[in-house]
């Protein structure tokens, strides 16, 4: 069995017990060695601690041990038979936002620690915000020190509710909550007997099973050239690590910035040439034609280009003691490219505790701001929310050569609205908007329509693989609702892609735009009092999160049509899987494009085994239980 | 390698190769430090893979304490020949003869600390700007905070409070004249990862790593191989034991473990269930709790 890799980061305030949690995970998974245990016991005794301080395993530097705080990002390792874990242990100290940003940049999961006695603190909000800013796909909220609140369920529930209310403003696709005691070991590695009211799994089980690679962009081929290999006249190869997507010999590529095209001849490695290479692989590509390519160039696919511009709109986190100087020249490192850059405008800074925008003259250490940059040569980039590798950069001080800022690209700089435009939804801000469109306050309100209809409006969002039976069940359900005199509206891929979305293909970007339009149509239908049944593969968690975000709380029902891929391949009513497997259909979800299963769907329908009629009834019961419709 | 899933070893390898290539691209005069131990052999293997079909575009440097195991030196010379790499050797003995360092005396003397001076002198001699090493963060507490690109001031010293943040896979190797970098491409590997990788890649290792009969001097619980420089003192005796080494360094401070593990499969099983860290057998780390941190600040790896 192959072992998977999960990189995660931990954040907490001073004394939340973060280091103790890590110590506990290492200890209970037997990842500590006798000499480490012995050395820690010695130190603990010498200091007069009453118990062995598990945090000592992780607080490495002498200054930290003396002051009992963690002052820099430390990396820890442990493994279980299923996974190897790389922990970026980041301090929660007020002045160390930069450390959490550093740890978060490579993490796929963040553990945010909350002390059960203190509840949510300003710093918990900051940690949540940074996780969202860095687009960490999975967040875990560990409510620690449950032993000190007598394992009280209500205390835990209140904290979960507080965090949930706050998290609705964040862009985090999945958040999971755990009541634990790191010191006593409750629900960390082993399930605790002290909290019979908690029916979930222990934290480690979640870490072992959470979907890895959820943040990976497997669609857009991006290959920043790192190094050119010319061992002899007959060989010219381009070494690099695939930033996203995949590539195979014979495929056409375009080289940026020259724009010259060629075909991939071979994917070379010392172990032999490959048939295919994917995101994360370090390889060497050779091309059919001799075209001029050097370090810093980027190879991409012909029909799927990054943006190219020297005016960049970005969010940056300032990481240097020397404050940001608007007049200074900086070097900007983006993938394998180094260019000069000027910050032409500082739009505003963001208070990490309240997420409010503030007018800013400059940026100090640990501050986060929205800026417009001009680079001397254009960058080839994607937005950070689409691609964490081609959407990120660092700024380097030209005098000291120190890394002074971390940046996340939002797009090409346009006239970005300043403070005046305080949009609640950052996602909406990122999407293109039509100028000068004002909302016409409707003459009829949603509430009026609902009381006429005699039921609440809602969006029932069916997601699942192609052929999983989403639409079949949705249609049966709609018929039942119709017979109950419920106002309904039906949206599915077939009826929308023929008209409204006829201009869209199946790249990740087009899929996102498809879902964005569908979401808006569904929201309109809802505001007109309908129960909208939307049946879309909608493979990306982020796109579904967007659909949910524009609908009022409690009115969005995510229904996961769960069916085994093998069953689908066999069932294959339209012969699509066969075509996808033979390569005839590219970017086919489940075969050559990813499907991110919902982490917390409202309803799961087992379409692999269940009878469609029963499954429709199952949803009907849910709607009645929620009070959306009456019996 | 079909589909998008990759094992942890594939991912660690890809990361290390990326870092090694960054070195070659960002620096004019890098060097790979080679001790003959499994980590540096793994590093050399990764460097070969990084530049295949070209040869490694920088030399390898070995600091010879003069107290190396003969097996290490034999292996080193054979391996360099096989991979066609350029090897530079510098000797601690020369530093002693030139009066650059003063050798510790007495039966417990070790040249381990002296290596630092020879190393720094060699880096200066060739004007190397970046030295790649096989250190891993899991080895020791002070290393857990080490960067991939570790910045050293003009005196070769490490300032734990003044290290550049490392975000995503962006490694800033820009530097002022006189400053250097130490670079650790296998930072994220553990001892077990290295062993599993050696098995997967079929990498040959010096015989010292595998179980063999050896004359041993037991000193403060550490099993040292008896030699010209390690001999019994006081009531210590020489015993014939079945041992192997988990790390290979200077004979004066590298302890063996009793082990029947004669091949790589047995070693992996042994490492997976080991209860003592590999550095636990090293006398140099036992000197004080912050021993490694102090040595790093002075320029030790």
Q: pLDDT class for A498, splitting at 50, 70, 90?
A: confident
* pLDDT value of position B284: 52
Across the range B86-107, mean pLDDT stands at 85
Sign of CA dihedral B163, B59, B80, B252: negative
Residue A406: strand pairing partners: A317, A394
Which residue in chain A has the smallest CA separation from B6?
A4
CA gyration radius, chain B? 19
CB hemisphere CA count around A238 (13 angstroms) = 27
Out of A58, A75, A102, closest to residue B167 by CB: A102
- Binning pLDDT at 50, 70 and 90, where does residue A521 land? very high
> How far is A65 from A85, CA to CA, in rounded Å?
24
Distance CA B230, CA B226 (A): 5
Please name the residue of chain B whose CA is at the shortest distance from the CA of residue A281.
B14
Q: Which residues of B touch A72 (CB under 8 A)?
A: 145, 160-161, 163
Smallest CA–CA separation between A226 and chain B, in Å?
7
Kindly state the average pLDDT of the residues A509-537. 89
Q: What is the pLDDT of residue A250?
A: 95
Distance from CA of B254 to the nearest CA of A (A): 16
For domain B8-193+290-297, the question of CATH label 3.40.50.620 is answered with yes
**Whether A33 and B277 lie within 8 Å, measured CB to CB:** yes
As a whole number, mean pLDDT of residues A260-279 equals 95
Alpha carbons A588 and B250: distance in angstroms, whole number: 57
Q: Per-residue pLDDT tens for B10-63?
A: 999 999 999 999 999 999 999 999 988 899 999 999 999 999 999 999 999 999
> How many CB atoms lie under 10 A from the CB of residue A104?
26
d(CA A464, CA A563): 8
Q: Which of A83, A227, A269, A275 to probe the B interface (max B CBs under 10 A)? A: A227
DSSP code at position A589: B
Q: Is A365 exposed, middle or buried (0-12, 13-18, 19+ CB in 10 A)?
A: middle
| Longest Cα separation, chain A | 80
Lowest mean pLDDT among A129-138, A357-366, A497-506: A497-506
A279 touches chain B (CB under 8 A): yes
- Cβ(B232)–Cβ(B238) below 8 Å: yes
Distance, CA of A31 to CA of A512 (rounded, Å): 42
Query: Residue A229 is nearest to which of B54, B143, B275, comparing CB atoms?
Result: B54
Distance CA(A567)–CA(A555), nearest Å, equals: 32
Q: How confident is the model at residue A63 (pLDDT cuts 50, 70, 90)?
A: low
Under an 8 A CB cutoff, do B7 and A270 touch?
no
Element (H, E) at A7: strand A4-11
User: Cβ–Cβ of B144/A226 closer than 8 Å?
Assistant: no
Q: What is the pLDDT of residue B1?
A: 47
Bridge pairing between strands A307-318 and A368-381:
antiparallel
When the pLDDT of each residue in chain A is averaged and rounded to a whole number, the result is 85
Q: Do A99 and B165 touch (CB under 8 A)?
A: yes
Cα–Cα nearest to A117, from A91, A153, A143 = A143
Residue to mutate among B16, B167, B292, with most A CBs inside 10 A, is B167
Q: A420 pLDDT band (50/70/90 cuts)?
A: very low
What is the DSSP track for A72-118?
S-EEEEEE-SSEEEEEEE----GGGHHHHHHHHHT-SEEEEEEETTT
Q: How does pLDDT run across A428-460, given as a tens digit for each residue?
A: 444 444 444 444 445 677 888 888 888 999 999
Residue A352 scores a pLDDT above 90: no
Residue A591 has pLDDT above 50, yes or no: yes
pLDDT on residue B187: 94
Domain extents for chain B? 8-193+290-297, 207-283
Among B8, B24, B176, the residue with its CB nearest the CB of A401 is B176
Reply yes or no on whether the pLDDT at A13 is more than 60.
Answer: yes
Say yes or no: A282 contacts chain B, CB-CB below 8 A: yes
Residue length, chain B?
Answer: 301
Name the residue in chain A with its Cα closest to that of B166: A102
Summarize pLDDT for A355-404 with one digit per residue, the tens.
Answer: 888 888 889 888 999 999 999 999 999 999 889 999 999 999 988 899 99
B174/A396 Cβ within 8 A: yes
Taking CB atoms and an 8 Å limit, are A5 and B275 in contact across chains? no
pLDDT in tens, B133-173: 998 988 876 677 788 999 888 777 777 666 788 999 999 99
List, by residue number, the catalytic residues of A: 538
Binary contact (A402, B164; C-beta < 8 A): yes
pLDDT, position A448: 81
Considering only alpha carbons, which residue of chain B is nearest residue A81? Answer: B272
CA end-to-end span of chain A, whole Å?
Answer: 50
Mutual orientation of helices A153-167 and A122-133 as an angle, nearest 10°?
A: 50
Please state the φ and ψ torsions of residue A68, each to the nearest 5 degrees.
55, 35
Where does the pLDDT of residue A152 fall: very low under 50, low under 70, confident under 90, or very high at 90 and above?
very high
Say how far apart CA A504 and CA A513 lie, in whole Å: 8
Give the span between the Cα atoms of A453 and A447, in whole angstroms. Answer: 10
Chain A (132-191) residues lying within 8 Å, Cβ to Cβ, of chain B: none
Contact A83 B8 (CB under 8 A): yes
| pLDDT for the residue A424 | 36
**In which band, very low, low, confident or very high, does the pLDDT at A526 lie, cut at 50, 70 and 90?**
very high
Q: B202: burial class by Cβ within 10 Å (0-12, 13-18, 19+)?
A: exposed
pLDDT at A162 over 50: yes
Chain A and chain B share a number of CB contacts under 8 A equal to 181
Res A67: pLDDT: 54
Enumerate the residues of chain A whose CB falls inside 8 A of the CB of residue B53. Answer: 229, 231, 235, 237, 268, 270
- A333/A393 Cα distance (integer angstroms): 6
- DSSP classification of residue A57: G
> In this predicted structure, what is the pLDDT of residue B288?
45
CA angle B265, B269, B271 (to 5 degrees): 115
* pLDDT for the residue numbered A453: 86
A289 has a pLDDT exceeding 90: yes
When scoring B82, B144, B187 by the number of chain A Cβ atoms within 10 A, the one with the most, hence best to mutate, is B144
Report chain A's C-alpha Rg in angstroms.
26
Q: What is the pLDDT of residue A429?
A: 44
Report, as an integer, the average pLDDT of A327-334.
Answer: 91
Order of strands, sheet of B30-33, starting from the edge strand that comes earlier in the sequence:
B87-91, B60-64, B30-33, B130-132, B180-183, B149-152
Q: Does A280 touch chain B (CB under 8 A)?
A: yes
- The answer to whether A556 touches A458, Cβ cutoff 8 Å, is yes
Condensed to tens digits (0 to 9), the pLDDT of residues A572-583 reads 877 888 888 887
| A11 shares contact with chain B (CB less than 8 Å) | no
Quote the mean pLDDT of chain B.
85
Sheet holding A261-268, edge to edge: A222-224, A298-301, A252-256, A261-268, A282-287, A235-241, A227-232
So what's the pLDDT on residue B269? 86
Confidence label for A76 from pLDDT (cuts 50, 70 and 90): confident
Distance in angstroms (rounded) separating the CA atoms of residues A62 and A14 = 17
> What is the distance in angstroms between the CA of the first residue and the CA of the last residue of chain B?
35
Question: Using CB atoms, which residue from A74, A98, A334 is nearest to B165?
Answer: A98
Instruction: Please give the pLDDT value at position B161.
Output: 66
* Closest B-chain CA to A406: B167
- Give the integer Cα–Cα distance in Å for A344 and B150: 32
Which range has the top average pLDDT, A49-58, A89-98, A301-310?
A301-310
* Stretch B99-121: mean pLDDT: 80
Alpha helices (H) in A358-469, listed in sequence order: 426-430, 446-453
Provide, rounded to the nearest whole percent, the portion of chain B with pLDDT above 70: 87
Question: What's residue A241's pLDDT?
Answer: 97
Q: What is the pLDDT of residue A316?
A: 95
More confident residue, B253 or A397: A397
3-state SS, residue A486:
coil
**A contacts of B159 (beta carbons < 8 Å):** none
Residue A158, φ and ψ in degrees, nearest 5? -65, -40
B49 to chain A: closest CA residue: A270
Contacts of B293 in chain A (CB under 8 A): 60-62
Contact call for residues A151 and A194 (beta carbons, < 8 A):
yes
* CB–CB contact B14 A60 (8 Å): no
Contacts of A566 by beta carbon, 8 Å cutoff, 6+ apart: none
Among A157, A138, A170, A185, residue whose Cα is nearest residue A10: A138
What is the pLDDT at residue A566? 86
Per-residue pLDDT, B76: 93
Q: Rounded to an integer, what is the distance from CA A213 to the centroid of its chain?
A: 10
Phi, psi of A375 (to 5 degrees): -110, 155
Q: Which of A82-86, A231-235, A491-495, B43-47 has the lowest mean pLDDT?
A: A491-495
- Asked whether the beta carbons of residue B175 and residue A106 sit closer than 8 angstroms, the reply is no
Please compute the mean of the pLDDT values over residues A486-498 and round it to a whole number. Answer: 85
Domains, in order of start, for chain A: 4-209 (3.40.50.300), 222-301 (2.40.30.10), 307-418 (2.40.30.10), 452-625 (3.40.50.300)
What CA–CA distance (Å, rounded) separates B34 from B59? 10
Provide the shortest C-alpha distance from residue B95 to chain A (in Å).
Answer: 31
């Amino acid at each position: 069995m192959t072992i998977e890799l999960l990189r995660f980061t931990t954040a907490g305030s001073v004394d939340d017990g973060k280091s103790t949690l890590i110590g506990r995970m290492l200890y209970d998974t037997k990842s500590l060695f006798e000499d480490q245990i012995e050395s820690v016991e010695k130190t603990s005794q010498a200091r007069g601690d009453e118990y062995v301080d598990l945090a000592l395993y992780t607080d490495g530097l002498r200054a930290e041990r003396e002051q009992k705080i963690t002052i820099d990002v430390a990396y820890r390792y442990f493994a279980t038979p299923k996974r190897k874990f790389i922990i970026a242990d980041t301090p929660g100290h007020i002045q160390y936002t930069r450390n959490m940003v550093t740890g978060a940049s490579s993490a796929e999961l963040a553990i945010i620690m909350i002390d059960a006695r203190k509840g949510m603190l300003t710093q918990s909000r900051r940690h949540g915000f940074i996780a969202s800013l860095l687009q960490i796909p999975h967040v875990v909220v560990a409510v620690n020190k449950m032993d000190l609140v007598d394992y009280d369920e209500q205390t835990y529930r209140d904290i979960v509710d507080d965090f949930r209310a706050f998290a609705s403003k964040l862009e985090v696709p999945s958040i999971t909550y755990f009541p634990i005691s790191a010191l006593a070991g409750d629900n960390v590695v082993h399930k605790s007997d002290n909290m019979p009211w908690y029916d979930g799994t222990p934290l480690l089980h979640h870490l072992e099973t959470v979907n890895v690679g959820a943040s990976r962009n497997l669609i857009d081929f991006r290959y920043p050239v790192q190094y050119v290999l010319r061992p002899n006249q007959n060989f010219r190869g381009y070494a690099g690590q695939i930033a996203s997507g995949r590539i195979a010999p014979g495929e056409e590529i375009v080289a940026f910035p020259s724009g010259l095209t060629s075909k991939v001849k071979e994917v070379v490695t010392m172990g032999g040439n490959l048939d295919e290479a994917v995101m994360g692989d370090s390889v060497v590509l050779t091309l059919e034609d001799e075209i001029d390519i050097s370090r810093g160039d980027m190879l991409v696919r012909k029909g799927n280009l990054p943006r190219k511009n020297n005016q960049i709109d970005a969010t940056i986190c300032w990481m240097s003691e020397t404050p940001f100087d608007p007049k200074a020249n900086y070097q900007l490192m983006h993938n394998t490219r180094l260019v000069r850059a000027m910050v032409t405008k500082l739009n505003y800074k963001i208070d990490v505790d309240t997420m409010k925008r503030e007018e800013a003259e400059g940026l100090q250490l640990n501050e986060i701001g929205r800026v417009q940059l001009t680079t001397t040569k254009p960058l080839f980039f994607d937005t950070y929310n689409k691609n964490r590798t081609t959407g990120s950069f660092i700024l380097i001080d030209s005098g000291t050569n120190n890394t002074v800022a971390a940046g996340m690209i939002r797009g090409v700089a346009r006239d970005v609205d300043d403070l005046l435009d305080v949009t609640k939804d950052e996602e909406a801000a990122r999407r293109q908007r039509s100028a000068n469109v004002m909302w016409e306050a409707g003459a009829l309100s949603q509430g009026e329509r609902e009381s006429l209809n005699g039921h609440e409006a809602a969006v029932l969002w069916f997601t699942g693989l192609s052929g999983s039976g989403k639409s079949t069940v949705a249609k049966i359900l709609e018929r039942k609702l119709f017979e109950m005199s419920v106002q309904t509206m039906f949206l599915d891929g077939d009826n929308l892609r023929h008209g409204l979305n006829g201009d869209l293909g199946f790249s990740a970007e087009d899929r996102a735009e498809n879902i964005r339009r569908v979401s808006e149509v569904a929201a309109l239908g809802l505001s007109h009092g309908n129960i909208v049944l939307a049946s879309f593969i909608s493979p990306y968690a982020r796109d579904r999160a967007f659909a949910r975000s524009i609908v009022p709380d409690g009115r969005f029902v995510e229904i996961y049509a769960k069916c085994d891929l093998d069953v689908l391949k066999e069932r294959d009513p339209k012969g699509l899987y066969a075509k996808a497997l033979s390569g005839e259909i590219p970017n086919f979800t489940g075969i050559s494009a990813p499907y991110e299963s919902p982490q917390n769907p409202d309803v799961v329908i087992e379409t692999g085994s269940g009878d469609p009629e029963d499954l429709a009834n199952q949803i009907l019961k849910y709607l009645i239980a929620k009070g959306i419709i009456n019996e | 390698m079909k589909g998008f899933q990759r094992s942890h070893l594939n991912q660690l390898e890809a990361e290390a190769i990326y870092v090694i290539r960054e070195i070659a691209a960002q620096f004019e005069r890098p060097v790979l430090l080679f001790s003959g131990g499994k980590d540096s052999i793994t590093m050399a293997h990764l460097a070969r893979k990084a530049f295949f079909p070209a040869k490694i575009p920088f030399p390898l440097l070995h600091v010879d304490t003069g107290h190396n195991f003969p097996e290490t030196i034999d292996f080193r010379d054979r391996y360099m020949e096989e991979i066609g790499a350029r090897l530079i050797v510098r000797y601690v003995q020369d530093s002693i003869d030139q009066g650059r360092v003063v050798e510790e005396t007495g039966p417990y003397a070790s040249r381990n600390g002296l290596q630092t001076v020879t190393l720094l002198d060699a880096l200066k001699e060739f004007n190397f700007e970046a030295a790649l090493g096989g250190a891993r963060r899991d080895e020791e507490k002070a290393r857990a905070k080490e960067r991939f690109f570790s910045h050293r001031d003009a005196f070769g010293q490490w300032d734990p409070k003044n290290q550049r943040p490392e975000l995503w896979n962006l490694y800033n190797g820009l530097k002022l004249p006189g400053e250097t970098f130490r670079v650790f491409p296998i930072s994220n590997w553990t001892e077990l990862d290295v062993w599993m990788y050696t098995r997967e890649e079929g990498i040959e290792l010096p015989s010292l790593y595998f179980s063999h009969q050896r004359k041993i001097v037991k000193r403060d619980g550490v099993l040292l191989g008896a030699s010209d420089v390690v001999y019994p003192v006081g009531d210590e005796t020489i015993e014939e034991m079945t041992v192997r080494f988990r790390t290979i360094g200077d004979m004066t401070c590298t302890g063996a473990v009793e082990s029947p593990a004669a091949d790589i499969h047995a070693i992996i099983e042994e490492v997976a269930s080991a209860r003592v860290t590999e550095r636990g057998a090293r006398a140099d780390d036992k000197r004080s709790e912050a021993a490694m941190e102090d040595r790093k600040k002075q320029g030790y790896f």
